[in-house]
């Protein structure tokens, strides 16, 4: 997908997440399957996107029981989970942004960020200790944006 189109769709998703977070919720399961695509009415090639499936969402103020260990990803899809979600079960607005970043990379490359054909244990290791790949064939601004979305913060 061309970078300009990815930027447009990313903006739509960021606006949606801003609204969700502003209302006091965290989606907790951002992934391509939870994004609805609607054609525009004006005939434009750019579709409208909407975030769907709030079944795992939680209130931001909702207390979480933090148990260290890689068994805490029951509230998200592992392939799009942040390190904090996997290691501590933390789900805050920043973890939705991490998931969005994984989606953006997938829009750019056509492939998931992490190797989805590996074992669950290897996938957890990639998420916790790996360095997310930033595509080389994108603008400097896009690379900077993706780096910001992939900040790891275990205590946030």
Q: Which of 6, 9, 29, 132 is catalytic?
A: 29
The CA distances from residue 15 to 19, 96, 106, 123, 131, in Å, are 6, 12, 19, 29, 27
Q: In sequence order, which residues have a C-beta less than 8 Å from that of residue 100 and are 6 or more positions away?
A: 10, 13, 14, 17, 30, 149
Active site residue 96: no
- Identify which of 50, 88, 54, 97 has the alpha carbon closest to the alpha carbon of residue 68: 88
Catalytic residue list: 29
């Amino acid at each position: 997908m061309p970078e300009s189109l990815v930027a447009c769709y990313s903006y739509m998703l960021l606006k949606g997440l801003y609204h969700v977070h502003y209302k006091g919720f965290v989606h907790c399961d951002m992934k391509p399957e939870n994004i609805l695509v609607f054609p525009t009415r004006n005939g434009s090639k750019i579709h409208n996107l909407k975030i769907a499936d709030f079944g795992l969402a939680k209130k931001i103020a909702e207390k979480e029981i933090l148990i260290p260990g890689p068994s805490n990803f029951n509230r998200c899809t592992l392939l799009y989970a942040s390190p904090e979600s996997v290691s501590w079960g933390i789900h805050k607005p920043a973890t939705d942004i991490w998931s969005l970043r994984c989606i953006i990379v997938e829009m750019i490359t056509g492939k998931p960020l992490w190797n989805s054909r590996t074992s669950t244990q290897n996938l957890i290791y990639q998420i916790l200790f790996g360095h997310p790949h930033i595509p080389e064939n994108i603008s400097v601004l896009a690379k900077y944006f993706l780096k910001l979305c992939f900040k790891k913060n275990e205590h946030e």
